[in-house]
Chains A and B, each alone.
Chain A
Amino acid sequence: MARVKPRVKLPKKAVPGDVITVKTLISHPMESGQRTNRTTGETIPRKIINKFVATFEGEEIVTVDIDPAVAANPYFEFEMTVPGPGTIRFEWTDDDGVIYDLEKAIEAA
């Protein structure tokens, strides 16, 4: 399987209290469990990212419960209020239990 690579885009700097837009993308096939292998006729088992969580210094920004109808390479965009300088942590949970994560520091002064 292709390497799963998370990517996040957000402004490097912000003023405390600012509202910023955060864009996230992770490369993942999001195998829905609906497809069949044409040569063997077997159903390809479901394997998706089923949860996405973004937190700032442990405080929740957004949590997404994901079902197979989310497109491959799931993309999420949301807005957050920057309380001050700190680190935003992003976590994507795979069906197989693996958690892909990424941290982004934000300067706020």
Chain B
Amino acid sequence: MELTRRQSLAIGAGAVAVASLPVRSVAAQNDAAAVIAAFTGGVEPQEGGVEITAPEIAENGSSVPVAVSAPGARAILLVAPGNPNQRVATFNFGTLSASARARTRIRLAQSQELVAVARTDHGFVRASRMIEVVVGGCA
């Protein structure tokens, strides 16, 4: 069988699409790493010192209640590596803030490990928490 130009182009496009599939999840992780690096200025955060409170199983990914707390933190960054936009929110605690603690509701596109990174006077700390999402929310 002889391939027409149109067919060979289609095959080529298909091959590219297949090849790019596994790369996408790696890229998402890289993006999350880039988001964290932008927040820490490239410093690798230490494990622990941040607490993420969230349901283990989120029925509705379009509104998942999440609380973050990091004693002594100046700011807390919330990252969802499995979302199309990995950065979720950054809380900056001012002089009248009583505790480095905040609560909000977020969107999660799929089950994933939510990451929180906090900036303290002594450096950066991080924690993560796995959340199973039943129905993904459009993020």
Contact = CB atoms under 8 A, between A and B. Distances in A.
Interface of A: 19-20, 32, 34-35, 55-56, 59-72, 74-81, 83
B96 A69 contact: no
Counting chain A CB atoms within 10 Å of each CB, which of B83, B96, B103 scores highest?
A: B96
B89 interface: yes
18 contacts: A34-B139, A59-B94, A61-B96, A62-B94, A64-B90, A64-B92, A65-B90, A67-B87, A68-B139, A70-B89, A71-B64, A71-B104, A71-B106, A71-B137, A77-B104, A78-B97, A80-B97, A83-B96
A61 B92 CA distance: 9
Contact of A71 (B62, B90, B98): B62
Interface of B: 62-64, 80, 83-85, 87-99, 101-108, 137-139
Contacts of B87: 67, 69
A69 B83 contact: yes
A91 to B, nearest CB: 13
B104 A76 contact: yes
Counting chain B CB atoms within 10 Å of each CB, which of A71, A75, A79 scores highest?
A: A71
A81 B89 contact: no
A20 B98 CA distance: 8
